[in-house]
Amino acid sequence: MTQFDYDLFVIGGGSGGVRAARLAGAMGKRVGLAEEFRMGGTCVIRGCVPKKLFVYASQYSEHFEDASGYGWSVGETSFDWPTLIAAKDKEIARLEGLYRKGLESNNVRVHDTRARLVSRNEILLEATGETVTADQILIAVGGRPNLHDALPGHEYCITSNGAFHLEALPKAIVVEGGGYIAVEFANIFHGLGVDTTLVYRGQKILGGFDEDLRDHLQETMIAKGIKVICHQVLEKVEKRADGRLEGHLSGGDALVADQVMLALGRVPNTESLGLHHAGVEMDQRGAVIVDDYSRSSVDNIWAVGDVTNRVQLTPVAIHEAMCFLETAFKDNPTKPDYDTIPTAVFSQPEIGTVGLTEHQAAGKYAELDVYRASFRPMHNILPDRQEKMIMKLIVDVASRVVVGAHVIGPGAGEMAQLLGISLKARCTKEDFDATMAVHPTASEELVTMYAPTYRLKDGERID
Ligand code: NDP
């Protein structure tokens, strides 16, 4: 039998790669991992984690506004961007250290280098020029922001990567895109006091989410002072003599800002990875094509996470990594389960959602009951903040199973996690009704909406 240097070699030290390497190491496998940048990948280094820290920072402006409703006098406030960046960097460095420690304490050999495939069992470590061999290889290199090369002046724009390291907080920013990242960052910048404009090519932000959430978020963002321009794209970005940027819109207007941020989706990181040397097939977007078990077209090479362009979410990458270990090393073929994935958008107000949207459910079930509550959360009453919260349950009339749950408002992300358990367990509306409310909370509405707000039959509202 051929003796390889490693039982498993993982390329990419992000959420999926680290989880697979660490657990394989704990199983006693000889594991190597190569990471060209910093351990932790997009989520820890320039994604979910620093983004959430920014969200917390940006919420203080509203906290200060609301304080007087509760009797507090808040003096003059000011915000210092370099302080936030330094604190964020310190926390990210701490987390990165924990990731590295977790690998090393499970005997994973970490190579701080870019790696690429030379053949189906050989990996070249670029920093040293060394070639190592492995029985099984896991590609977990993630994705990167779409730089939109077709946009003249894209080189003046930043993406989410750059947003985490801006030297100064811009006075004005234009964010293009209508997905998770554009929406989250538009709210972050607005909360930090930046004059913010969001440009989106579609009719309404957050395509794919329940219409009630989309409408409510877009209206609330506009009411807060974020300028939302739909049905338009940036056609050109120019640098002016004063150093500011001018974004030319398809509708003919121009927007002047200090930064233009593109949040136009993410592309798989497979360029120059040598996949073709090993015979690994990719799709048109460069994503590794895998079967239901995350196995590529080469039977000892696997891929998990964003590089496969399935569902671009950290917990999904981790789940795929765990399934991969079961399949490849525990003789227990396990397919990742993509059914009923809860998710949150850390917009302001926040969104938490699980299961089918009303529109999706209407296409799947003959009759639906929709339970919908719209109210001002208690916290907003004394400060006289008008912002409302919406909760919505979508119930299949035939089985009474709750097939969709959608929340927008404070704590929605946390609620989505718990709603996720109920929907995964296929709880019925009667299970929700039988659950005692926790009072006084906003989420008690989820178990006290006794009468349907309206009914849909064959997709038509019949009230
Ligand atoms: P999304 O896919 O969510 O959104 C991309 C947006 O860019 C869409 O609104 C899309 O429009 C628009 N777009 C794409 N191409 C163009 C173009 N050429 N011109 C104009 N507009 C364009 O990607 P994001 O970059 O926001 O985020 C990437 C992924 O990261 C998400 O899919 C998500 O899974 C993950 N993520 C998750 C977070 C969370 O869980 N909270 C937070 C951040 C990211 P259209 O809608 O018309 O297609």
Query: What architecture does CATH give domain 343-452?
Result: 2-Layer Sandwich (3.30)
CATH label, 154-264, candidates 3.50.50.60, 1.10.10.10, 1.20.120.350, 3.90.1150.10 = 3.50.50.60
Residue with CA closest to ligand 1 atom 30: 312
Whose tokens are 């495939």? That residue is 117
| H helix intervals, 285-374 | 314-329, 358-364
Give, for 63, the enclosing helix (H) or strand (E). Answer: helix 48-67
| Of the candidates 200, 242, 239, the residue with the CA atom closest to the CA atom of residue 217 | 200
The CA distance from 276 to 353, in Å, is 39
- Nearest ligand 1 atom to the CA of 264 is 7
When computed from its CA atoms, the radius of gyration of the chain, rounded to whole angstroms, is: 24
* Listed residue (228, 240, 227) closest to 153, CA to CA: 240
- Residues 262-285 have pLDDT tens digits of 999 999 999 999 999 999 999 999
Nearest residue to 227 (alpha-carbon basis) of 212, 207, 247: 247
382 CA distance to ligand 1 middle (Å): 36
Average of per-residue pLDDT across 410-418: 98
State the burial class of residue 342 (Cβ atoms within 10 Å of its Cβ: 0-12, 13-18, 19+).
Answer: buried
Tokens of 174: 């234009």
Per CATH, 154-264 and 343-452 having the same topology is answered no
**Choice from 180, 183, 200 to test ligand 1 binding pocket (greatest atom count within 8 A of CB):** 180
Task: Give domain limits for the chain.
Answer: 6-144+267-329, 154-264, 343-452
DSSP state of 379: G
When pLDDT is cut at 50, 70 and 90, the band that residue 463 belongs to is confident
> Which residue reads 């394989």 in tokens?
24
Over residues 382-413, the pLDDT tens digits come to 999 999 999 999 999 999 999 999 999 999 99
Alpha-carbon distance 188 to 51, whole Å?
A: 9
DSSP H stretches of helix in 241-296: 275-278
Ligand 1 atom closest to the Cα of residue 263 is 25
DSSP state of 110: E
- Reported confidence tier of residue 1, pLDDT bands at 50, 70, 90: low
End-to-end CA distance of the chain: 70
What SS3 class is residue 60?
A: helix
Residue nearest to atom 15 of ligand 1 (CA): 264
Bridge partners (DSSP) of residue 353 are 343, 406
CA 251 to centroid of ligand 1, rounded, Å: 22
* Ligand 1 probe mutation, 184, 187, 312, 348, most atoms within 8 A of CB: 312
Backbone angles phi, psi at 228, to 5 degrees: -115, 115
Segment 309-331, tens digit of pLDDT:
999 999 999 999 999 999 999 99
Query: What is the tens place of the pLDDT at every residue in 155-205?
Result: 999 999 999 999 999 999 999 999 999 999 999 999 999 999 999 999 999
Residues catalogued as catalytic: 439
CA distances, 159 to each of 25, 113, 175, 264, 265 (Å): 35, 24, 9, 9, 10
Q: What is the pLDDT of residue 425?
A: 98
Return the pLDDT at 82. Answer: 98
What average pLDDT does the structure give for the chain?
Answer: 97
Q: Residue 398, SS3? A: coil
User: Contact 365/398 with Cβ under 8 angstroms?
Assistant: yes
User: How many whole angstroms from 205 Cα to the centroid of ligand 1?
Assistant: 10
- E strands, 319-384, are 343-345, 351-355, 367-375
- As its CATH architecture, domain 6-144+267-329 has 3-Layer(bba) Sandwich (3.50)
Q: Whose CA is nearest to atom 25 of ligand 1?
A: 265
Q: How far, in Å, is the centroid of ligand 1 from the Cα of 161?
A: 14
Q: Quick one: pLDDT at residue 326?
A: 98
- CA distances from residue 162 to 41, 45, 158, 391 in whole angstroms, order as listed: 15, 12, 5, 35
Give residue 231's pLDDT: 98
Kindly state the helix (H) or strand (E) to which residue 111 belongs, with its residue range.
Answer: strand 108-111
67: CA distance to ligand 1 center in Å? 35
Nearest residue to 186 via CA among 177, 175, 195: 175
- What tokens were used for 264? 């136009």
